[in-house]
């Protein structure tokens, strides 16, 4: 249960021990009281510009970001005094309620403060996470921050500076101007709604409240720049990577105006998010798919980029995901990666992570990789752990992609149209290969795509639209439908005999 702190004014016999000074309407006003506490406030500092970065004008200009807004309110407590709300008039801070202010009872006092004082269910220790940001004003009310510290009274009583600590995370979501295939984005394709699902839900007793992300929804604000903005509480690292934690749901308007598509983004960022940081997600859209192309992380207090902020599917994530799955005795493992991360380093990470499991036991799915440039050639002598591999987004297999995968039984890649050299060499246990409509297949005595594979033991599945192939230094597709040829009836493809050939 959330505990909301309420502050109640209590009368006392002496002003030296009361919660605050009360104006008698004549001589004890805030401006005339030499013991009145005056405040200033800031959030972080930017040495590069010489200015202070302040509260939530998250979409404002640099000048707007460096100031508080008129009407902003901070609740302040000093020692045993009751809370007083100070309001900003565009120039300075002063008590919001006339005749009620904090006073100096000693030359040094302990202060606590929180912003925004006018937010619902907010206190120094508690904050309720908003469920929707419909305006810039909503964003300001969601920019929860606190201060706690000792302050000494200056000789001229020129004010106590409250260095507020930002407690929220800024999330920014936008579309790239190219789609998942690298082509220019279709005109009219736009984000219409973004909902964030953090695995935390506000603060209670000064601590972030853990939650199940499927039970938390924060609707982001759509700005005129086309991007969506939301403030959330810091999220927790995902300990069980195999669960693919829901983080975001996105609605996209179709270019033809026929409606919207809804997509889910999961387990990003798997390392959690930090208070005082801004995470910008760049999305790419394709037919019936959405991928996070890039993440940029910046320090919200200084605007400085955080090194490594662009890392999305790093090697450590791959290793941990596989390790967690194997530790839970799961052999069906799925990874969603970025095509630019299809590197030998990543292949090696997958290979190494599989070393501890039984040969021929793992059913691996790799989503998001469209061009299998390096393939699994780094798996040589190690990928005997694989029983099957699914690559729904791959369009090309390069040289030695599955070489020496001697325990591999099935390959499912329904969009592959190009095969390189000796793709399946040494795959002694291979029983089934599902590909797309092949258009270009490597040819040569020792370099043919199926070299080193006994195809008579393999069931081959191709696209219904497969064309007959002809030998022109390489195998290339012709205009003739393969299903109308004698080769098809005899289970022959590319001059090789297969156990069966099926079109679907």
Rounded distance, CA 388 to CA 301, Å? 48
User: Which pLDDT does position 244 carry in this prediction?
Assistant: 56
Burial label, 450 (beta-carbon count in 10 A; 0-12, 13-18, 19+): buried
Higher per-residue pLDDT: 499 or 58: 499
Asked if 235 and 171 count as a contact pair (C-beta separation under 8 A), the reply is no
pLDDT band at 343 (very low <50, low <70, confident <90, very high): low
What's the whole-number mean pLDDT along residues 333-357? Answer: 71
User: Which pLDDT does position 49 carry in this prediction?
Assistant: 40
State the pTM of this model.
0.57
Q: What are phi and psi of 214, to 5 degrees?
A: -70, -15
Rounded distance, CA 216 to CA 201, Å? 7
Q: Report strand pairing: 500-503 vs 459-462.
A: parallel
**Tokens found for residue 94:** 């002063």
Nearest CA to 322 out of 369, 365, 372, 381 is that of 365
For the ranges 155-164, 276-285, 482-491, the maximum mean pLDDT occurs at 482-491
Strands (E), 214-320: 218-219, 221-222, 228-232, 246-253, 260-266, 277-286, 289-299
Q: Report strand pairing: 108-115 vs 145-152.
A: antiparallel
User: Which pLDDT does position 16 carry in this prediction?
Assistant: 29
Per-residue pLDDT tens for 186-197?
555 778 999 999
pLDDT band at 367 (very low <50, low <70, confident <90, very high): confident
**Count of Cβ atoms closer than 10 Å to residue 214 Cβ:** 10
Per-residue pLDDT tens for 236-267?
877 654 455 678 999 988 766 678 888 888 76
Asked if 260 and 254 count as a contact pair (C-beta separation under 8 A), the reply is yes
Rounded distance, CA 58 to CA 54, Å? 10
Q: What is the dihedral of CA 405, 406, 411, 417, to 10 degrees?
A: 60
Rounded distance, CA 220 to CA 294, Å? 19
């Amino acid at each position: 249960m959330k505990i909301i702190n309420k502050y109640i004014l209590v009368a006392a016999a002496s002003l030296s021990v009361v919660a605050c000074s009360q104006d008698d309407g004549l001589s004890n006003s805030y401006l005339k009281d030499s013991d009145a506490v005056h405040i200033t406030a800031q959030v972080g500092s930017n040495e590069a510009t010489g200015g202070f970065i302040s509260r939530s004008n998250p979409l404002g200009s640099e000048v707007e970001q460096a100031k508080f807004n008129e009407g902003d309110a901070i609740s302040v407590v000093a020692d045993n005094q009751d809370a007083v709300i100070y309001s900003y008039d565009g120039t300075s801070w002063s008590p919001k309620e006339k005749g009620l202010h904090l006073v100096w009872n000693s030359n040094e006092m302990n202060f606590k403060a929180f912003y925004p004082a006018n937010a619902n269910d907010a206190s120094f220790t508690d904050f309720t996470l908003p469920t929707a940001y419909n305006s810039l004003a909503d964003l300001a009310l969601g920019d929860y921050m606190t201060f706690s510290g000792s302050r000494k009274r200056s000789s001229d009583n020129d004010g106590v500076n409250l260095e507020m600590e930002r407690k929220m995370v800024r999330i920014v979501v936008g579309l790239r101007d190219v789609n998942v295939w690298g082509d220019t984005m279709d005109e009219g394709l736009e984000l219409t709604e973004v909902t964030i699902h953090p695995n935390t839900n506000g603060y209670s007793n000064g601590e972030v409240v853990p939650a199940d992300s499927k039970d938390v929804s924060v609707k982001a604000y759509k700005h005129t720049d086309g991007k969506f903005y939301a403030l959330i509480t810091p999220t927790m690292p995902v300990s069980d990577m195999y669960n693919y934690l829901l983080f975001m749901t996105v609605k996209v308007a179709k270019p033809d105006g026929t409606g919207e598509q809804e997509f889910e983004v999961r387990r990003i960022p798997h390392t959690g998010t930090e208070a005082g940081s801004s995470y910008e997600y760049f999305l790419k859209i394709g037919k019936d798919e959405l991928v996070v192309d890039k993440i940029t992380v910046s320090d919200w207090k200084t605007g400085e980029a955080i090194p490594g902020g662009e890392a999305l599917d790093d090697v450590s994530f791959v290793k941990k995901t596989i390790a967690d799955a194997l530790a839970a005795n799961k052999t069906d493992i799925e990874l969603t990666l970025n095509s630019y991360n299809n590197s030998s380093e990543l292949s090696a990470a997958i290979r190494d992570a599989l070393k501890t499991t039984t040969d021929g036991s793992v059913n691996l799915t790799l989503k998001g990789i469209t061009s299998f440039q390096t393939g699994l050639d780094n798996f040589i002598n190690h990928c005997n752990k694989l029983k099957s591999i699914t690559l729904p987004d791959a369009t090309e297999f390069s040289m030695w992609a599955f070489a020496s995968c001697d325990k591999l039984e099935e390959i499912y890649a329904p969009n592959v149209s190009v095969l390189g050299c000796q793709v399946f060499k040494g795959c002694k246990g291979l029983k089934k290969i599902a590909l797309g409509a092949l258009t270009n297949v490597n040819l040569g005595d020792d370099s043919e795509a199926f070299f080193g594979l006994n195809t008579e033991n393999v069931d081959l599945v191709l696209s219904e639209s497969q064309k007959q192939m002809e030998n022109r230094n390489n195998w290339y597709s012709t205009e003739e439908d393969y299903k109308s040829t004698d080769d098809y009836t005899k289970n022959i493809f590319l001059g090789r005999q297969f156990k069966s050939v099926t079109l679907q």
